[in-house]
Chains A and B, each alone.
Chain A
Amino acid sequence: MASSTFDIDGTIVGIRTTDRDFASWLDAALGGYRSVTNADPTYSVVIGGREGTVQGFHILYHGTARLIRTIDLEAVARALIDEVASNTLRDRMDAVFVRAAAVQVNGSVALVPPAAVTSMEPSVRSLARSGFRLPVSRWVAIGSDGSLVPRTPLQLPSDIFDTFGDRNDARDERFIPRDPRPVDTIVTNAPDGGTGVGTSPRAVALHRLASATLNLEALGGTALEYLFRAVSGARCIELDRASADAYPTRLARAILGLELSAG
């Protein structure tokens, strides 16, 4: 077990991992943020393939909440970095940062509530076989024209994720935005008691996204303008919290426009 503490723009973040090699990678990745203090772990990374782990799965926890469980070492590393980076987003002005997950289904990109992705994590590989890409990140960046834009808020060595090439014997197909692109669909949870899939008023989607914006106070009304552009060009749907088994299929069908009833 190895622990490190980092100062991320004034937020002290402790990270514990079960694997010394991963700890070394972490020090290389976040060396510029190393803190001399020792904090209790905010995040824990369990690296699979060792005694006491299950089937070689790598798991990232925030406190006791499991964020990602994957056999892809790079995916868990990216998820950790993005989680740590979320501590820097509140004061940023270069995009609207929203607590949402960007999933891709056969090339179509949708923003969904992060909790929905967590519930789909166990099925990531089978979902990938049907053209479904889950993200590693639980936040997205929306640019001034309403597009989903790539952002790497932390200063990292440029090749830091390449180092997993040799160790990573299994890869998940994950959706990581590399270029700006429009948001095709915005998915919100149906109100309590709602059932099935339906179109959602775009104002409801805009309200949900704005309410989940991390740097809302910093950007003020500008955030609403960026999100307005994203919502204006997107299909907005609401989906009830179906069982974990049924949710991915219904989500995929809804994103692809195969299962929409009147809202």
Chain B
Amino acid sequence: MPTTDAPRRRDDLTVAEIDGETVIYDPRDATVHHLNSSATIVWSCCDGTSSVADIIDDIAQAFGLAVADIADQIHTALSAFEDSGLLAVPASVDG
């Protein structure tokens, strides 16, 4: 996913967060997904206004980590969301 994309959670999903992890029901194919605590943090950032680069920066800052140390993990999580069809068509954030 390009770093200028602003991933956004689909609106029609049913989402249950419990103990810092997430379970998602997707009505399109009646499937259920489980996100562990790390994936849940990334998921919570997918609001359609923050670019991938913003998300990486925000998480790095919030947890006191180096961008280089977490960028791959975040890209992997976002790709998994995308592959699972959990994201709306991404918007691009200019600048």
Chain A residues with a Cβ under 8 A of chain B: 201-204, 206-207, 210-211, 216-217, 220-221, 223-225, 228, 231-232
17 residue pairs bridging A and B, Cβ less than 8 Å apart: A201-B19, A201-B21, A201-B36, A203-B18, A204-B21, A206-B16, A206-B18, A207-B32, A210-B32, A221-B13, A221-B27, A223-B25, A224-B23, A224-B25, A228-B16, A228-B18, A231-B18
- The contact of A210 among B13, B19, B21, B25, by CB within 8 Å, is B25
Min CB distance, B48 to chain A, in Å?
A: 20
- The contact of B30 among A202, A217, A228, by CB within 8 Å, is A217
Min CB distance, B85 to chain A, in Å?
A: 16
Q: Check if B14 sits within 8 Å of A221, measured CB to CB.
A: yes
Q: Write the chain B residue with the least CB distance to A212.
A: B32
Min CB distance, A245 to chain B, in Å?
A: 32
CA distance A57 to B41 in the complex (A): 54
Per-residue contact bits, chain B 1-35, to A (CB 8 Å; 1 contact, 0 not):
00000000000011010110111010100101111
CA distance A201 to B36 in the complex (A): 9
CA distance A114 to B67 in the complex (A): 46
CA distance A216 to B29 in the complex (A): 10
Taking CB atoms, residues of chain A closer than 8 Å to B22 are: 203
Per-residue contact bits, chain B 44-77, to A (CB 8 Å; 1 contact, 0 not):
0000000000000000000000000000000000
Main DSSP-derived SS at the B contact region: strand
Q: Check if B23 sits within 8 Å of A210, measured CB to CB.
A: yes
Q: Which 4 A/B pairs are nearest by Cβ-Cβ distance?
A: A221-B14, A203-B21, A207-B34, A217-B30
CA distance A164 to B27 in the complex (A): 44
Q: Check if A224 sits within 8 Å of B16, measured CB to CB.
A: yes
Taking CB atoms, residues of chain B closer than 8 Å to A204 are: 21, 34
Taking CB atoms, residues of chain A closer than 8 Å to B25 are: 210, 216, 220-221, 223-224
Q: Write the chain A residue with the least CB distance to B27.
A: A220
CA distance A216 to B32 in the complex (A): 9
Min CB distance, B12 to chain A, in Å?
A: 9
Given known A204-B34, A210-B23, A216-B32, contact A225–B18 (CB-CB < 8 A): no
Q: Check if A225 sits within 8 Å of B23, measured CB to CB.
A: no
Taking CB atoms, residues of chain B closer than 8 Å to A206 are: 16, 18, 23, 34
Q: Check if A202 sits within 8 Å of B14, measured CB to CB.
A: no
Taking CB atoms, residues of chain A closer than 8 Å to B32 are: 207, 210-211, 216, 224
- The contact of B14 among A201, A225, A232, by CB within 8 Å, is A225
Taking CB atoms, residues of chain A closer than 8 Å to B21 are: 201-204
